[in-house]
Each structure stands twice: as C-alpha cells, then as structure tokens.
Amino acid sequence: MFDLVNKHRKFVQILLAMITLPFAFWGIDSYFKDAASTDEVARVGSSKITLQQLDTAMRERADLIRSRQGGSVDAKLFESAQFRQSVLNELIEQRLLLVESERLGLVANDVILRELIAQIPAFQDNGKFSPTKYEQVLRAQGMNPTTFEQNLRRDLTQQMLVNGVAATTQISKTQLNQIITAESQERDVSVAVVAANDYLKSVSVSDETVRQFYESNPKQFQTPERVKVAYVVLSDPKVVAKESENFSNMVYEQSDSYKDVAKALNLKVEESNWISANGQGAQGVLANPKVLETIFNPGSLKDKRNSAAIEVAPNVLLSVRVTEYQPVGLRSFDSVSADIKTYLTRKAAVEKATADGEAKLADLKAGKDVTDLKWSTTKSVSRLQPNGLPGDAVQLVGAVDAAKLPAYTGGPSGGEGYALYRVNAVKAGAALNDEKRAQIAAAYQRFVQQADVVSLMVGLRDRHPVKIAKRPEADKQQ
C-alpha cells in the first residue's frame, strides 16, 4: 500500500501541508449536503448554497480562527460584511471545484485516502497510525470515521483538480533570467516625506463632528458580552477511564457547585478572569471552541449551572459554570470623545498631507521646481535588497520609467503622510549564486502556479455560472 504513496510522495506532502485537521473535521460536506433550509444565498450552475450553509461555514471559520489565535480575536471581525463575503467566496470556490470534479469523474481512491489518514500526526501513537486514537480524536470532534473519510475524500478530490493544473506550470531559463535581472536591478533613490504632523495645527474638528461620529459608529464603542466562570478538569487518563461517568453525574447532580466532585476526584476548582464572547481572555481549555459555545449558550448565561461534561481532547473532560455575566454595553460618549477627536484630527491631517503630496508629485513630473522638500541621502534599492524601504514603496520605485532621470513617484506613507521618491540612477545588480537563483525560481514557480489556479477558477465560473442573491437578511447582518 505504501508503494503508491511513495510514487506520489510530493503530491501527498503538498496535501498534508494544505489540509489542516480542523478543516478535515468540519469538511465541506457539512456545507454542501442537503440542508433543511431552502433560503438561497448563491447558486453555482444548478447547485445552490443556502443561508444555513453559509451561517454554518461562518461559525466554523470563526471557531477555527479563535482556536488558532488562542481566543484573542475581536468579535467585530466576525460581524463584518468582509468576513461574510470571504466565507461565501470560499464556499463558492469549493462548490465550483466539486461540480467540476463530478463533471470530470474525478474521485480520490481508497488507497491514497487510507495512506493520507495514516500520515496525520493526530492519529498516531509513537509515529504509527493508531485505529483507537483515530476513533477517539474523531469522537472528541463529534464525528465518526465514515463522515470524516467522506469529507476528506471530497476535499482530496478537489485538491487533485487544483494540483493537476498547478503541476503543468513551467518557467523557461530565459524567463528566469529576465526575472532575476529585474529582481536584482538596483535603483539609487532619495525620499522626501510630506508629514501629516505638519498639518495637525491647521485642522479643526468640532464637537458636533465628534458626536456625529460616535452616534454613526456605535459598534466601534461597544463593550463585548463577557463572563467569569468556574470550572474543573479531569485529565488523568487512568482516572478518566474509571471515573468519567461519575464525573458526569456529579457535575449534573450538584449543578451549582463543584465542591463535591472536586473533593471526590481530587480536582482543583479553577476560576477565570473576564472572557469575552469573541474568546478574548480565554486561556487553555477555555479557548476550546466547544467550551466557548457552551459558556455563551443562552441557557448557561441565564441559569449559571454546571455544564455537562465536555470532552475537549482525548481523555480530557471539563465542566464549566458561569459565575458572573455582563451583557453587551456601550461606552459613554464622555469616555471616548477625546480619542475620537484625536482620531478624526489625525485622519484630516493625513488627508491634507496626501493631497499636498500628490500636488507636489504632479509638479515634479511636469519638470517644475519644488523647493520646500527635504530629500534624504541617496541609497541603493532593489527588490531583493529594499534597504529599509517598505514593500509598496519598492514596487513604486521599481515601476518608474528609467528612460529619463531623475524620475519621480510617490504614495501614502503608512498613515504618516505622503512619501515622494526620486530615482536618480539605475544599474545592474550583482550576480547571484546558484542557491539564490534557485530560491527565486521556486518563488516565481509558486506565483505562476497560483495565477494558473486563479485562471482555473475564472474558467470554472464561466462554465458553471455563479449567481449571488441579494437578500435583506444579508444586508441587515452587514
């Protein structure tokens, strides 16, 4: 069986890098199987995506982000129109790949599927696949092997389609030499900044404007829903094996305290600091998405009773109880008005500096003298050696037509104002060693592969037309 994986080892390695275990747990199957709701938000060809599927995907994406960030994520991210659109776009792309895979008759076979599962570290003991651990890990995620393998097979099948396109991408030696010449080319650059700080005194923001901003942007000044909790964790594998049922019964029967279960099983009753609904402040096991969902369940917030035992990992059980609760609130105008005024003043100063900078750039390009600029000393800049220049500035400088020098360009300077760049000279960069050439070749290969995949998705949208419904419900959420 391993012969097949050895023959396709590069493919399997790419796949292992791309498929994270949480994604495999949730899988696209949970999005695409028939839902009870017929509330359509998008259609790919004749296949529909429902509001229920989108809501499920958004919730699971939010849980995944929280788990990866340790729970410290601003809840506003998950309420934004951009977040919703991003998740919907991914659902559409996944559906496009699914529909096209079905059209082509692509299916990942059982042999590759089994070998891929065997290589996932979470399912291994001492470096070898463990059927027992496989089932335990899946059970902790509320899944069984059949559902997991269906999800993984579907994701693998779609990845086969994507990798098939990427594998055809090749760059020639001539193309590589042209790229290296452009990447290593050096440009002598001077910089002048039209600073926003110089415009602060000329900007006036009225109290009425501050008040209007406060009233027009209430979400920016919300205090999040938050709680404090008490909890107990049973994590000794031997004790869990013997006492899991007893633990579950005791936290249920004495639902307003952990005193008895802590004494009986020699557990420590832990207490948290404030935890927000977005997971901020949650540490350790409390950052587990299942635990956060339990904590902020309306029943938990209202009754303040011990939760049922939650399996947060193999051989790790937890029960949690809300001890203090604060609902969503709004910071008072007086407490934020000074910060709002500072923000609006700075914003107006940046806008003035940008307008002035753009006007100066136009004059420089027209050959006019601009005497009130302070140019820095010249420094050599290339895409490979930016020499302290920000990435967007390097792109601007690299795009300047060097036929007539000096040449000028400019752009925003990270909220500090507007930066002007003067290109004084252009020269060939130093020759690169073989290792550096290989790195550039690999990076460009990846870039072209990504471009080919984008072209694939554009082509699939032509073959399987995508329609997105305009919905009042969506508008309200945005």
Q: Which domain holds residue 420?
A: 186-203+339-427
Q: 25 or 360: whose pLDDT is higher?
A: 360
Q: Which residues pair with 270 in a beta bridge?
A: 231
Last residue of a domain, which of 327, 347, 373? Answer: 327
Q: Does 38 share its domain with 101?
A: yes
Q: Kindly state the average pLDDT of the residues 247-255.
A: 95
Residue 419: strand pairing partners: 193, 411
Q: What is the mean pLDDT of residues 430-437?
A: 87
The pLDDT value recorded for residue 449 is: 83
Which comes out higher in pLDDT, residue 15 or 471? 471
Do the strands 40-44 and 47-50 form a parallel or antiparallel pair, or are they unpaired?
A: antiparallel
Closest by CA to 159, choosing from 462, 453, 455, is: 453
65-99: pLDDT as tens digits:
877 776 566 666 777 888 889 999 999 998 998 88
Please determine, for residue 103, whether its predicted confidence score (pLDDT) is greater than 80: yes
pLDDT tens digit string along 326-371?
Answer: 999 999 999 999 999 999 999 999 999 999 999 999 999 999 999 9
CB count, 10 Å around CB of 122? Answer: 12
- Measured between alpha carbons, how far is 163 from 181 in angstroms, rounded to an integer? 29
Contact in structure between 325 and 385 (CB atoms under 8 Å): no
Give the mean pLDDT of the chain: 85
Lowest mean pLDDT among 40-44, 121-125, 449-453: 449-453
Average pLDDT over residues 433-457: 85
Grade residue 471 by pLDDT with cuts at 50, 70 and 90: low
Task: Give the per-residue pLDDT at 82.
Answer: 87
pLDDT (tens digit per residue) in 311-330: 988 889 999 999 999 999 99
For residue 81, is it within any domain?
yes
Cβ-in-10-Å burial (0-12, 13-18, 19+) of 169 comes to middle
Q: What mean pLDDT do residues 250-258 have?
A: 95
The pLDDT, as a whole number, for residue 316 is 92
- Assess whether 408 and 471 both reside in one domain: no
User: Is 218 contained in some domain?
Assistant: no
pLDDT score at 71:
55
- Is residue 178, in this structure, part of any structural domain at all? no
Residue in 287, 277, 285 with CA at minimum distance from that of residue 66: 287
Average pLDDT over residues 20-30: 39
Instruction: Using pLDDT thresholds of 50, 70 and 90, give the confidence band for residue 457.
Output: confident
Compute and round to an integer the Cα radius of gyration of the chain.
29
Residue 461 in any domain: the answer is: yes
Question: What is the average per-residue pLDDT within 293-302?
Answer: 93
The answer to whether residue 106 is domain-embedded is yes
Alpha-carbon distance of 62 to 277, in angstroms, equals 12
Q: Are 312 and 392 part of one and the same domain?
A: no
Pair 409, 374 in one domain: yes
**Average pLDDT score over residue span 242-246:** 93
Distances (CA, A) of 218 to 212, 381, 421, 464: 10, 45, 40, 41
In a shared domain, residues 23 and 152: yes
249 confidence band (pLDDT: 50, 70, 90): very high
Q: Is-contact 94 31, C-beta < 8 A?
A: yes
Instruction: Tell me the pLDDT tens digit for each residue of 181-216.
Output: 888 899 999 999 999 999 999 999 999 999 999 999
Residue 279 lies in a domain: yes
Say whether pLDDT at 477 is over 50.
Answer: no
pLDDT mean over 280-297: 89
pLDDT value for 478: 43
Q: What is the mean pLDDT of residues 384-404?
A: 91
φ, ψ (nearest 5 deg) of residue 47: -100, 130
| CATH code of the domain covering residue 251 | 3.10.50
CATH value at residue 89: 1.10.4030.10
Question: For the chain, what is the domain count?
Answer: 3
Kindly list the distances between the CA atom of residue 226 and the CA atoms of 229, 306, 328, 333, in Å, as whole numbers in the listed order. Answer: 10, 17, 8, 21
Flag whether 133 is in a domain: yes
Q: State how far the Cα of 351 lies from the Cα of 392, in Å rounded to an integer.
A: 19
Asked if residue 150 and residue 6 are part of one domain, the reply reads: yes
Give how far Cα 455 sits from Cα of 234, 451, 452, 459, Å.
Answer: 51, 6, 5, 6
Q: Are 418 and 195 in contact (CB under 8 A)?
A: no
Q: Are residues 287 and 372 in the same domain?
A: no
Least confident of 219-223, 306-310, 375-379: 219-223
**Residue at 437 is within a domain:** no
**Is the bond leading into 406 cis (omega within 30 degrees of zero)?**
yes
Q: What is the pLDDT of residue 74?
A: 66
One domain for residues 128 and 232 = no
Q: Which helix (H) or strand (E) holds 454?
A: helix 434-463
- Residue 108's pLDDT is 82
H-run or E-run covering 423: strand 417-427
Residues 343, 318 share a domain = no
Q: How far apart are CA 409 and CA 190, in angstroms?
A: 11
Residue 372 identity (one-letter amino acid): D
Is pTM, for the whole model, over 0.75? no
What integer is the mean pLDDT of 450-477? 76
Is the separation of the CB atoms in 393 and 376 below 8 Å? no
294 & 395 share domain:
no
Instruction: Please state whether beta strands 124-125 and 275-276 pair in parallel, antiparallel, or not at all (unpaired).
Output: unpaired
Q: What is the mean pLDDT of residues 219-225?
A: 90
Say whether both 286 and 347 belong to one domain: no
Do 414 and 292 share a domain, yes or no?
Answer: no
